[in-house]
Amino acid sequence: MSVGREFDLVLLGATGFTGGLTAEYLAANAPNGCRWALAGRNRGKLESLRSRLAAINPACESLDLLQADVTEPVSLRAVAMRSRAVVSTVGPYLSYGEPLVAACAEHGTNYLDLTGEPEFVDRMYLGYHEQAVASGARLVHCCGFDSIPADLGAYYTVQQLPEDVPLEVQCYVTASAAFSAGTYHSAITAFSRMRAMASVAARRRRVEGPAEGRKVHGVKGLPRHEHGAWVLPAPVIDPQIVLRSARALERYGPDFSYGHNVAVRRLPTAAAILGGVGAAVLLAQVPPARRWLLGRMQPGDGPDAARRAKAWFRARFVAEGGGRRVTTEVSGGDPGYGETAKMLAESALCLAFDDVPKSAGQVTTAVAMGNPLIDRLRRAGITFRVVSERAT
């Protein structure tokens, strides 16, 4: 267990774009007495970042800088042994993430990341879930826009409906924002590994098994027009995360179904999304084309503050159960960068300082933190609200 360690949390990958935003958020919002540190392989870049953070909060002048390299597992184990939690923004995680997960699972250290890569999450479950259960570590993936709005939004929505009844939830996501470079690279990598991803997912299903005595299933709808928008099934990790929360928590009822969609107003936009995703899937199968796609965005790149300030997202949930119909909404600013950094930082602070549910192993944000994290995010400016409710 991680009681009595030197640091409450360590941020690995802070010299990258999203990592830097996460560090800036912690500099401005970590409570007095929070013992946190920066970790990375380049001491010079870490020192430069520390100086930038000191301009936000002079107390950051004394932040510890830890040597850590994802290619040197010994350095990661040293970091894990010194901290109650380690936060990683180093992706693509399928390429760089496993050694840190292994170190945290071994030493009972909470682990958080921003991955949206299903294959990585499934491989980490197969490799380290049981070890983390034994050591007391929480392995919490997907602590950014993938997949906090969906996971905690569904969790919040379920709590507005009667208990112990079948529940149906559909999520419709709209956004005006640029993809982060990390999300883009993760998506192209996932498209190129669809067979491997399906194989690992099948292995996990065999090991994990269904929810005992309950039904939990996803709904894969076709493209359609409803609620005044064109609705497209979203090929993202979010529904997998929501369904894992539902399998773990009885509050989701005896029979829970969930569908996850992107909603756009204009048919040409919907057609462009479908065509773009289809083309990316095909091109990702061919190594030269895949390299060309990956070269379109470089990890560490990102939009300026003015562009991020104009970005926004909204996840609307329409749910029925027990004779009630409720519509809820989770909304906020720039999902790809600013709000993702906020979500990740608040998740780490929540595990460090809040009275959270008891859990261990690979767990979702709803299972690991639930309402305490919703409360934190609300205070930080992310909206969770009931739009409407009525009898059916």
**Model confidence over 66-85: pLDDT tens digits?**
999 999 999 999 999 999 99
Q: What is the pLDDT of residues 364-392, one digit of tens each?
A: 999 999 999 999 999 999 999 999 999 98
- Note the pLDDT of residue 179: 65
- 162 within domain boundaries: yes
Number of domains in the chain: 2
Residue 38 Cα distances to 60, 68, 71, 116, 295, angstroms = 10, 9, 17, 23, 28
Q: What is the DSSP string of 75-95?
A: HHHHHHHHBSEEEE--S-HHH
Long-range CB contact pairs, 299-306, < 8 A, 24+? 299/16, 299/17, 299/91, 299/181, 299/182, 299/185, 300/16, 300/17, 300/181, 301/17, 301/181, 302/17, 302/18, 302/180, 302/181, 302/336, 302/337, 303/178, 303/337
Is the Cα dihedral 129, 11, 187, 312 positive or negative? positive
- Note the pLDDT of residue 336: 80
From the list 289, 314, 383, the residue with the least C-alpha distance to 172 is 314
The whole-number average pLDDT for the span 225-248 is 91
Is the Cα dihedral 183, 187, 190, 192 positive or negative? negative
Residue 132 Cα distances to 106, 135, 236, angstroms = 7, 5, 26
Selection from 180-184, 241-245, 262-266 with the highest mean pLDDT: 241-245
Q: What would the two tokens of residue 179 be?
A: 């993809």
- 228 within domain boundaries: yes
pLDDT at 5 over 60: yes
Question: Sorting pLDDT into bands at 50, 70 and 90, what band is 337?
Answer: confident
Question: Are residues 261 and 137 both part of a single domain?
Answer: no
Q: Tell me which amino acid residue 388 is.
A: S
CA distance 52 to 347: 23
- 358 within domain boundaries: yes
pLDDT at 91 over 80: yes
CA distance 335 to 345: 14
pLDDT at 174 over 60: yes
Q: What would the two tokens of residue 14 be?
A: 């802070």
Residue 388: burial class (beta carbons within 10 Å; 0-12, 13-18, 19+)? exposed
- Note the pLDDT of residue 64: 97
Question: Are residues 243 and 134 both part of a single domain?
Answer: no
- Note the pLDDT of residue 299: 64
From the list 76, 123, 112, 134, the residue with the least C-alpha distance to 361 is 134
From the list 49, 277, 261, 79, the residue with the least C-alpha distance to 170 is 261
- The residue written with tokens 């180093």 in the block is 90
Q: Which residue has the higher pLDDT, 225 or 319?
A: 319
Average pLDDT of the residues of the chain:
92
Question: Are residues 249 and 132 both part of a single domain?
Answer: no
- 287 within domain boundaries: yes
Is the Cα dihedral 329, 335, 338, 344 positive or negative? positive
- CATH code for the domain in which residue 53 is found: 3.40.50.720
Question: Are residues 329 and 349 both part of a single domain?
Answer: no
- 3 within domain boundaries: no
pLDDT at 216 over 80: yes
- CATH code for the domain in which residue 219 is found: 3.30.360
- Note the pLDDT of residue 180: 67
Q: What would the two tokens of residue 305 be?
A: 């503050």
- Residue 287 sits at φ, ψ, to 5 deg, of -50, -45
> Which residue range is the domain that position 369 belongs to?
9-145+340-373
Question: Are residues 271 and 250 both part of a single domain?
Answer: yes
